[in-house]
A = this chain, B = another copy of it.
């Protein structure tokens, strides 16, 4: 059982990985995580440079967005995170980062197709793009509707959110999730590297790259995430 102070420390560490893994410049990213009982969410404060963050700066809220602990304003994207936690009970952490290649696919409104086993290791299929928000949605609440358009997209495509734990918001950037903060950041790293590899593969293939064979995709993903996974040291 993770205590609240352990949760804040875990979220703090995961936020520090955003710049150290090369996923963000300035303060263009944030990580949140849900408490074990599902009732609370810990998230980066808004606009604070990563180098100035400490575990106690992490803000804790309930799922309706009421602050439970922390003296700072939570991330401006908090309402988006909360929508995802409410809609997807299985996810334990959310990462939002304007990483260069993932963001470029969001801007081009093109899915990151599964072209190889690096992608397949974390995402069991293409990472797809939401529709853009309407003027009304933006007017009523930009951040909450960003969350709703992600949820709508996941439901429309009928996928388990942990099967492909990420989506590209049109004209914006990726949102990525996972069971833990560390796993969600690993997924965000994989999305960014896979996007970079997909760009290069497209350039080499005249814009028409071959997708990975379905049987290789399935096996490569299952050996790490399936019921009989045999990757790693079997912790957890």
A residues sitting closer than 8 Å to B (CB atoms) are 21, 25-26, 28, 45-48, 72-73, 76, 98, 100-101, 103-110, 115-118, 121, 132-133, 135, 138-139, 142, 171-173, 186, 189-190, 193, 196-207, 209-210, 212-213, 215-216, 219-220, 223, 230-234
CB-defined A-B contacts under 8 Å, sample of 7: A25-B189, A26-B186, A73-B233, A76-B230, A100-B197, A104-B201, A142-B223
Assembly of this chain: how many copies?
4
- Bound complex: CA of A138 vs CA of B200, how far in Å? 26
Closest to A120 in B: B171
With A47-B231, A213-B132 already in contact, the answer to whether A118 and B200 are too (CB < 8 A) is no
Q: Are A110 and B202 in contact (CB under 8 A)?
A: no
Q: Are B101 and A200 in contact (CB under 8 A)?
A: yes
Q: Are A193 and B25 in contact (CB under 8 A)?
A: yes
A205 cross-chain contacts in B, Cβ below 8 A: 108, 110
Instruction: Give the distance to chain B from A46, nearest Cβ to Cβ, in Å.
Output: 5
With A142-B219, A200-B101, A220-B142 already in contact, the answer to whether A171 and B212 are too (CB < 8 A) is yes
Instruction: Give the distance to chain B from A225, nearest Cβ to Cβ, in Å.
Output: 12
Q: Are A108 and B171 in contact (CB under 8 A)?
A: no
A121 cross-chain contacts in B, Cβ below 8 A: 28
With A103-B116, A142-B223 already in contact, the answer to whether A203 and B210 are too (CB < 8 A) is no
Q: Are A216 and B132 in contact (CB under 8 A)?
A: yes
Closest to A232 in B: B47
With A46-B232, A234-B73 already in contact, the answer to whether A171 and B210 are too (CB < 8 A) is yes
Within the complex, which residue of B103, B138, B196, B204 is in contact with A216, where a contact is CB–CB below 8 Å?
Answer: B138
